[in-house]
Amino acid sequence: MAQKIALVTGATSGIGRATAVSLAQQGFKIIVAGRRTERLQELIQQLGQENVYPLEFDVRDKEAVQNALAGLPAEWRSVDVLINNAGNAHGLSPIQGGDLDDWDAMLDINVKGLLYVTKAVLPIMIERKTGHIINIGSIAGKEVYANGNVYCASKFAVDALSKAMRIDLVHEGIKVSEVNPGAVETEFSEVRFKGDTERAATVYQGYEPLKAEDIADLITFMVTRPKHVNLAEVLILPAAQAAATIINKQ
Ligand code: NDP
Ligand code: 8X3
């Protein structure tokens, strides 16, 4: 049987990178997408040129997204699985103190970027009447917390879009799922706090957060279920976390 092809956005770091590695270990061929070319090259070195195809684009640039997908070589075109993972939080401020550029970044990347990539991949899946899309939402798309405002709104939008996509695409034979993680130790907080690594580290102190590999395990499980099974929505938390801001810190 032909190897399945998965496209992972945000594959240069954290959850996306771990997912690319895990799916490659399960025999998938992986299209890895991100802006940091050198990290895409590292994945090729690690997983082998025959198993990995790099796509460098900013998900905010709709033309770049379309061109990248349209330019895939024939042997990489039949994308079976799309992991819409690229995203970040930018800042953590009350609404009255929010930064307009941070708001643009979160809505443009987390919401519109996810839509642009999905739109570019869908014709391939619809033509073949098969496919599985997994959107990475968040616990922040299930509950709002203080100062989370626009990031939460972006992830509530991912939640709504995941449900809506599942409804619209069911008749095309395409499965749509959503993974909603709690605290995962990645570069996420470094990005949120604009390179302040000390502040970022405090987010994960006093308890055991999830690792990127925990989310990758879950995604790998979800995409390897039989064709008739769709794990539609999963909330995955560290054992020490009960809600977005309720964490049993020692
Ligand atoms: P990281 O910061 O480690 O990874 C983010 C990834 O997104 C990078 O690969 C980055 O690649 C990519 N990305 C960011 N902006 C763009 C852009 N404009 N164009 C293309 N790619 C972009 O964070 P995580 O792995 O933690 O985050 C992955 C997803 O998981 C995000 O959607 C996040 O919201 C979600 N999430 C994270 C949680 C956590 O606690 N860590 C919890 C819940 C959800 P590059 O910079 O190379 O472009
Ligand atoms: C990331 C988790 O709680 O920082 O989506 O919003 S949280």
Given a contact cutoff of 8 angstroms between Cβ atoms, the answer to whether 126 and 170 are in contact is: no
Distance 85 CA to ligand 1 centre (A): 6
Residue nearest to atom 5 of ligand 2 (CA): 138
151 is catalytic: yes
Confidence at residue 2, expressed as pLDDT on a 0 to 100 scale: 84
Rounded CA gap, 158 and 20, in Å?
21
Model confidence pLDDT, tens digit, residues 112-125 = 999 999 999 999 99
ipTM of the complex: 0.99
Q: Does domain 5-247 have CATH number 3.20.80.10?
A: no
Which of 142, 147, 151, 186 gets mutated to test ligand 2 (max ligand atoms within 8 A of its CB)? Answer: 151
- Split at pLDDT 50, 70, 90, the class of 80 is very high
Residue 3 pLDDT: 95
Atom of ligand 2 nearest to the CA of 188: 1
33 band by pLDDT with thresholds 50, 70 and 90: very high
pTM: 0.98
CA of 226 relative to ligand 2 center, distance in Å: 31
Convert the pLDDT of each residue in 173-227 to its tens digit. Answer: 999 999 999 999 999 999 999 999 999 999 999 999 999 999 999 999 999 999 9
Computed over every residue of the chain, the mean pLDDT equals 98
- Which residues are CB-contacts of 59 (< 8 A; sequence separation ≥ 6)? 9, 33, 65, 86, 109, 112, 113, 114, 116, 117
Q: Taking the CB of residue 14, how many other CB atoms lie within 10 A of it?
A: 21
Radius of gyration of the CA atoms of the chain, in A: 17
**Per-domain residue ranges for the chain?**
5-247
